[in-house]
Amino acid sequence: MLTKRIIPCLDIKNGRTVKGVNFVDLRDAGDPVELAAAYAEKGADELVFLDISATEEKRRTLAKLVLDVAEQLNIPFTVGGGISSVEDVDILLKNGADKVSINSSAVKNPDLINQLSEKFGSQCVVVAIDAKNIDGKWSVHLVGGKVPTELDLFEWAKEVENRGAGEILFTSMDHDGTKNGFANEALARLSEELNIPIIASGGAGNIQHFEDTFKKGKADAALAASVFHFKEIKISDLKNSLKNSGIPVRI
Amino acid sequence: MKIAIIDYGAGNIQSIKFAVQRLGFEAILSSNVEEIQNADKVIFPGVGEAGSAMRMLRSTGLDKIIPDLKQPVLGICLGMQLMCTSSEEGNTRGLGIFDAEVKKFFGNLKVPQIGWNTITELQGKLFKNVSAEEYVYLVHSFYVPECSDEIARTNYGVDYSTALNRDNFYGVQFHPEKSSKTGEQILKNFLNL
């Protein structure tokens, strides 16, 4: 049976992981390669690297990082952050990334989704969507939720699927950072209206939240950062608990 | 041991090279006919669309070479599908090594299937030291219906052949290079054939 996926997300700046990573058993908690290998060992199903650096060096540092990670990691990984062209994606895939995630560039140039899925296949195109619930309407936002757009979450998600995206990574800006659980109503609607896998993101605080997002939110995968980095939730505990609740997971 | 990974412009072959490296071997990426023919083991990868992948194989003449190889050959993902008779994807005629017609997933399923699923009904040396119900990583929209060349099975809406073997030819629908320790064992078994 196909299992539900647990995906730790690492923020990368200038080739190093940032934003408080607390893995005491590591020699260097800032080294993404070491951290990635530790997560793979602990039972993560996939990893996401989100590059938040904004230097001119970015493209070269990221390509090098991807190559180093691919050399060590025996599970799949996705790279996102500032990817805006076919050429960007070509470099990352050639260096060993399994998938790329695009967000703002897809909104600014939706045709990029078509180009990427035609050239590299849908399976490696993840479209990330950040949205906020404003007066009952889920409105798509850019730049980490700072810039609102005219787009409606569900209409945009459908368009993204039709243009060839292989997966959708949906982050609720209302839930992100709250540790109060995922946006399960919106997630369930996405899952029902679309035929591609949906990754839930934003709001993970405890094990129950993961169970809820798989059961009530009908998510195919759940992504989280701080609860894993700060060891608030151990992946092995999480998966055992999910299994006991009847959710298929890889142990 | 000389290991050649066929490089015909399809997909992420760097990962396979690294996976082989982690097992202590070196692999070369090659589109050179002689190099491929002289290798001890050949890996035939593939990610992308069947029709365009077959066109790339034909344009390099590799479509004629692969079915005549005598050493162990491992097709991975689209590589395995291209070794079948045909694929519904772009109505593509394949290399005809395995007697199977590749179909698209149907019914109330999310497509592509992305993630970790189990392998069962394991047969032969490729699965030495691997137990039924172990997990492998899969990403695909098309599948090989159960057939006589099957050596492993997976279920996604339907039971299908997730690994195939005929003579010196092997194929796996999953990605051993991304399937953690189970994948490493399977890749190691192939290199030990």
CA neighbor of B172 nearest in space, from B129, B133, B137, B134: B137
Distance (Å, whole) CA B123 – CA B161? 12
* pLDDT at res. B189: 98
Q: What is the pLDDT of residues A14-63, one digit of tens each?
A: 888 886 555 545 666 688 999 999 999 999 999 999 998 777 777 788 99
- In this structure, the strands spanning B3-6 and B150-156 are unpaired
Query: What mean pLDDT, rounded, does chain B reach?
Result: 95
pLDDT score of B3 more than 90 = yes
* pLDDT at res. A52: 85
Q: Which tokens belong to A48?
A: 């996401």
pLDDT score of B144 more than 60 = yes
Amino acid of residue A164 = G
pLDDT score of B76 more than 80 = yes
Q: Which of A120, A167, A250 sits opposite B114 (nearest CB)?
A: A167
- Count CB neighbours of B93 within 10 A: 14
Query: Would you call B110 an interface residue with chain A, using a CB distance cutoff of 8 Å?
Result: yes
- For Cα atoms A177, A200, B112, give the angle at the middle one, nearest 5 degrees: 155
* pLDDT at res. B10: 65
Residue ranges covered by each domain of chain A: 7-244
* pLDDT at res. A27: 60
Intervals of chain A under pLDDT 50: 24
Residues of chain B with pLDDT > 70: what percent? 99
Query: Would you call B117 an interface residue with chain A, using a CB distance cutoff of 8 Å?
Result: yes
State the best of A74, A187, A218, A242 to mutate against chain B, taking most chain B CBs within 10 Å: A74
B140: left (phi over 0), alpha (psi -120 to 50) or beta: beta
Taking a C-beta distance cutoff of 8 angstroms, is the pair B188, B19 a contact? no
Distance (Å, whole) CA B186 – CA B175? 10
Taking a C-beta distance cutoff of 8 angstroms, is the pair B82, B56 a contact? no
ipTM of this complex: 0.93
* pLDDT at res. A43: 96
Q: Which of B12, B155, B156 sits opposite A98 (nearest CB)?
A: B12
Question: In terms of CA atoms, which chain A residue is nearest residue B10?
Answer: A120
* pLDDT at res. A59: 79
Query: Would you call A1 an interface residue with chain B, using a CB distance cutoff of 8 Å?
Result: yes
Verify whether residue B177 is a known catalytic residue. Answer: yes
Distance (Å, whole) CA B172 – CA B163? 4
How large is the angle between the packed helices B180-191 and B14-22, nearest 10 degrees? 80
CA neighbor of B173 nearest in space, from B128, B146, B127, B140: B140
Distance (Å, whole) CA A141 – CA A135? 15
> CATH: 1.10.287.130, 3.30.43.10, 3.20.20.70, 1.10.3720.10. Which one for A7-244?
3.20.20.70
Mean of pLDDT values over B124-142: 96
CA distance A28 to chain B (A): 22
Taking a C-beta distance cutoff of 8 angstroms, is the pair A251, A43 a contact? yes
Distance (Å, whole) CA A63 – CA A41? 24
Taking a C-beta distance cutoff of 8 angstroms, is the pair A221, A200 a contact? yes
Query: What is the DSSP code (8-state) at residue A4?
Result: P
Residue B12 pLDDT grade (very low, low, confident, very high; cuts 50, 70, 90):
confident
Verify whether residue B77 is a known catalytic residue. Answer: yes
Mean of pLDDT values over B3-9: 92
Q: Which residue has the tokens 């129950």?
A: A208
* pLDDT at res. A229: 87
State the best of B7, B15, B104 to mutate against chain A, taking most chain A CBs within 10 Å: B15
CA torsion sign, A167 to A170 to A176 to A178? Answer: negative
Q: Which residues of A are catalytic?
A: 11, 130
Distance (Å, whole) CA A235 – CA A237? 6
Query: Would you call A64 an interface residue with chain B, using a CB distance cutoff of 8 Å?
Result: no
The neighbouring-strand residues paired with A100 are: A79, A125
Query: Would you call B135 an interface residue with chain A, using a CB distance cutoff of 8 Å?
Result: yes
Taking a C-beta distance cutoff of 8 angstroms, is the pair B174, B79 a contact? no
pLDDT score of B160 more than 90 = yes
